[in-house]
Amino acid sequence: ETGVTQSPTHLIKTRGQQVTLRCSSQSGHNTVSWYQQALGQGPQFIFQYYREEENGRGNFPPRFSGLQFPNYSSELNVNALELDDSALYLCASSLASTSVAGANVLTFGAGSRLTVL
Q: Which amino acid is at 110?
A: A
Residues 104 and 28: their CA atoms lie apart, in Å, by 13
Residues 3 and 34: their CA atoms lie apart, in Å, by 15
Could you say whether residue 39 binds other proteins (CB under 8 A)?
no
Nearer to other proteins, 17 or 115 (CB): 115
Instruction: Select from 11-19, 64-72, 78-86, 91-99 the region that touches other proteins (CB under 8 A).
Output: 91-99
CA distances from 63 to 1, 19, 81, 85, 95 (A): 34, 11, 9, 11, 27
Nearer to other proteins, 39 or 62 (CB): 39
CB of 35 to other proteins, least distance (A): 8
Q: Which residues contact other proteins (rule: CB under 8 A)?
A: 4, 31, 33, 35, 40-45, 48, 55-56, 58, 90, 92, 94, 96, 100-111
